[in-house]
Amino acid sequence: MIDETKIEYEEGSGNVFADLGLEDADELLTRAKLGYSVRQIVKKRGLKQREIAKILDLKQPEVSNLMQGKYHLFSEGRLFSFLNKLDQKIIVQVIRRKKNDPLQEVVFTP
């Protein structure tokens, strides 16, 4: 017998931080996407934490925070500098915002 019970749910906005009602939700999402990009690059390269610390000029606890996804501890500028140190090109594009579009968007192309 098939269970036809309807499951109620609420569709998210695309920004979990906004859905949680956090201040600076767009900034937090931007940091999360930038930090995730950094983490993906170092993981793909198979770098050890000591190597990451040297390349990104970080102390070990900061590397640990980065690898644990604590991106809110790093400013966007600092995350940009990490990407640059990992030989990544960053393109900032300013365009008119359409209704309901996020204020900021990060697109990562591996």
Domains and CATH numbers, the chain: 23-85 (1.10.260.40)
User: pLDDT tier at 1 (50, 70, 90 boundaries)?
Assistant: low
Interval 28-51 mean pLDDT:
95
pLDDT tens column, 71-88 = 999 999 999 999 999 999
Percent of the chain scoring above 70 in pLDDT: 96
Interval 21-32 mean pLDDT:
92
- Cα 31 to chain center, whole Å? 5
- Cα 30 to chain center, whole Å? 6
Check: pTM over 0.85? Answer yes or no.
no
